[in-house]
Amino acid sequence: MKLDLDVYSHQHSWMHRWEPRCKLIGLMGVIFAFAFVQDLRLLVPMLVVTASLFMSSGLPLTVLTHRLRYPGFFLLGMVLLLPFFAGETVIWQWGKLSLYQEGCLATILIAVRFVSILTIALILVASTPFLALLKALRSLGLSPILTDMLLLTYRYLHDITESLTTMRTAMRLRGGDRSRARFLIPDWRTFRQTASLAGTLLIRSYEQSERVYKAMRLRGYGLAQGQTNRQDWRSIQVSNILALGLSLVVAGGFVLAEVLI
Amino acid sequence: MHVPDGILPAQICVGGYALTGLTAWLSLRKINRCHDPAQGVPKAALLTAAFFAASLLHIPVPPASVHLVLNGLLGVILGYYAFLAILVGLFLQAIMFGHGGLSTLGVNALIMGIPALIAYFVFQLRDRAPKRLNQRLTTGFFAFLAGASGTAISALLFYSLMVLNVPAEMDVMAERIAVAGLTVAHIPLVILEGIFTAVLVLFLEKVKPELLRNTWSKASS
């Protein structure tokens, strides 16, 4: 399991240099505008905007195809089911099986919205270092408790996943994975072992958290209550503000077009 | 049970963010009433990471294997931190693996987080159970209820949202049948999740009982 988020975040494209707060607001605006689209005529402009943003990010296409793989299975389920179950206008029939026009159009709409939003989200995440993204969220008013939880969870996720892998290997080496499960019936022994494994992982994490808390406390964590981490908006370059304005105009354009068409 | 990007209309996504913001604010309000709110943060964060890793475990049920949701268990252990933990976990899943999505983060947090909070309150009912009853049996029973209710409510919310928001005209009766059918199909998973939660909670009660009774995750009312 690869957890490193910052593999592509230190490149030098314009998208990478865009100020994180402006980028977050601008791209999230575009994401929500795309989610607002219901009219099929807006799908081509949506794909054009998405492709332009992806090219400006300089990210390799393999990152996108890799990212699309897992959620793509869900989409495949929709593509296979929706045209046959949703709608009224039959465009093709074979026995009791009917293909509906409305279902097909809904599938196209969902597929394009899905690919576009996922690509924009990928651009946002892959072109911004994780810490910069957290700082931007904090600066935009995210609670310090949530920010700290996010940072610590991300920090220890790799350690805990490694710990789980080691524990599973140890269990397997002791012959603990010999499941006697039958068709549709789980093996009670394996079930209890998995519960104990998860329980041990929780206990280890809890004990580790006590050590982490003590170490953090010694460094003054939790003493500066109410201290905010608001970065100065005046330090942002004009070009970043202009890019933010442009992205919000594009987002607004989609919403307006959807309302007016 | 993660709704991906692009499926739901923007109104639902925005509504999901608004309700998630409200629930997170209420949870934070409860947490801030604790004696030392900072004390719970590393514990909740590391346990969130542990839940994240534990959700990768599968139970072999031939010919397939079952992946557990664990949101009920998360509610039992993390209390008011459960909703925040789910929000953090879903955000990380969305940005690291593309599971769920950024536009549907609010909706997904509600689908998984509200049942986790309900599971927490269900498990708290064991303190009101008559003391003459077998304590181990009582704990196991309420842990089962908490684990099962977490998954059952999540499944109901998820399929209701998915089927009712398909952007094409569907027969109302067909929608109802689809929601009911998909939720009923989850009954074996709900039972399995309840048993798993009960077994795990009884294990924790025996080995590390303070994990179930910690004051850091249970703010004063």
* Structural contact between residues A88 and B169, judged by C-beta atoms closer than 8 angstroms: yes
User: What CATH number corresponds to the domain at position B140?
Assistant: 1.10.1760.20
Mean pLDDT score of chain B: 85
Q: Is the pLDDT of residue B220 over 50?
A: no
DSSP letter string over B159-176?
HHHHHHT-SS---HHHHH
- Cβ-based contacts under 8 A for chains A and B: 243
Confidence band for B63, pLDDT divided at 50, 70 and 90: low
Interface of B with A in 200-219 (CB under 8 A): 200, 203-204, 207-208, 211
Work out how many domains chain B is built from and give that number: 1
Which pLDDT tens digit goes with each residue over A80-139?
777 887 777 888 888 878 888 888 888 898 899 999 999 999 999 999 999 999 999 999
Can you state the angle between helices B81-97 and B105-124, rounded to 10 degrees?
A: 150
Q: Is the pLDDT of residue B131 over 90?
A: no
**Residue A243 or A7, more confident:** A243
* Structural contact between residues B120 and B79, judged by C-beta atoms closer than 8 angstroms: yes
What is the Cα–Cα distance from B74 to B206, expressed in whole angstroms?
18
Is residue B2, in this structure, part of any structural domain at all?
Answer: no
Structure tokens at B94: 């969305």
Interface of B with A in 27-86 (CB under 8 A): 28, 31-32, 36-39, 41-54, 56-57, 59-63, 66, 70, 77, 81, 84-85
Confidence band for B91, pLDDT divided at 50, 70 and 90: very high
* Structural contact between residues A32 and B13, judged by C-beta atoms closer than 8 angstroms: yes
Is residue B105, in this structure, part of any structural domain at all?
Answer: yes
Is residue B180, in this structure, part of any structural domain at all?
Answer: yes
Could you say which of A109, A118, A196 has the minimum Cβ distance to residue B167? A109
3-class SS of residue A1: coil
Q: Residue B85: its pLDDT value, please?
A: 93
Which pLDDT tens digit goes with each residue over A235-260?
888 899 999 999 999 999 999 999 98
Alpha carbon A260 to chain centroid, angstroms: 31
Confidence band for A1, pLDDT divided at 50, 70 and 90: very low
Which pLDDT tens digit goes with each residue over B17-48?
999 999 999 999 998 887 777 788 888 888 88
Which domain, by its residues, includes B21? 10-213
* Structural contact between residues A116 and B6, judged by C-beta atoms closer than 8 angstroms: yes
Q: Mean pLDDT over residues B161-166, rounded? A: 76
Confidence band for A155, pLDDT divided at 50, 70 and 90: confident
Q: Mean pLDDT over residues A36-50, rounded? A: 93
